[in-house]
């Protein structure tokens, strides 16, 4: 869309923000929000990735934290890696880590069910699943197919506004493309609830929290402000992931 349309959209949002935040009620991640990456069956990296925040894995054991060369802490409750500014937790570590992770995985699934189950979308099958080149204002979006990002897409809204994107198929972002935030939009409030696999192409830049029903793959050189929370596995290839504040 043109820059003129972007200015108009932001102007309308600025007027609405004088009284309330726009978009659906926020999705509560509960204890899953303690993790930048959370998965059930595995978390892998092709070094060197750079993760800011914690990594959690359950019910899989620490042997499925591959490529991190984790060093177990003397407490036995977590490990450290040169690729992670934070801590790595796995179900095979010493108590209370297993129960903590069980709760986090449950909270992740609850958040996915909440986000994917919201009704009365503001936008249905926008762009026939292609959101590249579009400006997405706060709201509930639903696609009965997959979604692709073949060119830069913009989320325009204030820091308290919310977006929920329900995707029945896959989410695929083309290489070297960017999700852009405008007007102070906060990646914490952008929830991607994806029923099938997620693939972010090489050197692309992504914003938001992915709640994946299956696998999430960040290809070589991807950067991301957000969280990758998968009910199966997360695969990183020299990726940079920073948890939003």
pLDDT digits (tens, 9 = 90+) for 206-216: 999 999 999 99
Reported pTM: 0.92
**What's the mean per-residue pLDDT of the chain?**
94
Phi, psi (degrees; rounded to nearest 5) at 14? -65, -40
Is residue 242 a contact partner of residue 222, using CB atoms and an 8 Å limit? Answer: no
Number of Cβ within 10 Å of residue 165's Cβ equals 27
Span 50-59, average pLDDT: 98
pLDDT, mean of residues 138-153: 98
**Token pair recorded at residue 188:** 């914490």
pLDDT of residue 6 exceeding 80, the answer is: no
Helices (H) and strands (E) in the chain, counts: 2, 24
**DSSP string for residues in 161-221:** --EEEEESS-EEE-TT-BEEEETT--GGGEEEEESS-EEE-TT-EEEEEEEESS-EEE-TT
Q: What is the pLDDT of residue 18?
A: 43
Residue 76 has pLDDT above 90, yes or no: yes
The pLDDT assigned to 7 comes to: 46
């Amino acid at each position: 869309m043109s820059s003129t349309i972007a200015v108009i959209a932001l102007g309308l949002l600025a007027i609405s923000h004088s009284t309330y935040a726009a978009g659906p009620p926020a999705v509560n991640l509960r204890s899953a929000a303690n993790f930048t990456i959370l998965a059930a069956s595995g978390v892998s990296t092709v070094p060197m990735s750079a993760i800011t925040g914690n990594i959690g894995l359950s019910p899989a054991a620490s042997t499925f934290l591959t490529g991190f060369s984790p060093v177990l802490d003397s407490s036995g409750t977590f490990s450290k890696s040169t690729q992670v500014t934070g801590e790595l937790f796995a179900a095979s570590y010493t108590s209370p880590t297993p129960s903590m992770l069980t709760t986090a995985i449950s909270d992740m699934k609850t958040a996915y069910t909440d986000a994917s189950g919201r009704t009365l979308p503001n936008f249905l099958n926008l762009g026939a699943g292609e959101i590249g080149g579009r400006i997405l204002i706060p709201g509930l979006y639903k696609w009965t197919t997959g979604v692709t990002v073949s060119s830069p897409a913009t989320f325009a809204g204030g820091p308290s506004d919310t977006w929920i994107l329900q995707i029945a198929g896959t989410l695929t972002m083309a290489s070297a493309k960017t999700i852009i935030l405008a007007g102070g939009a906060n990646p914490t409030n952008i929830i991607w609830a994806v029923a099938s696999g997620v693939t972010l192409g090489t050197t692309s830049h992504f914003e938001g929290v992915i709640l994946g029903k299956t696998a999430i793959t960040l290809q070589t050189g991807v950067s991301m402000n957000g969280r990758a929370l998968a009910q199966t596995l997360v695969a990183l290839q020299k990726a940079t992931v920073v948890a939003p504040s």
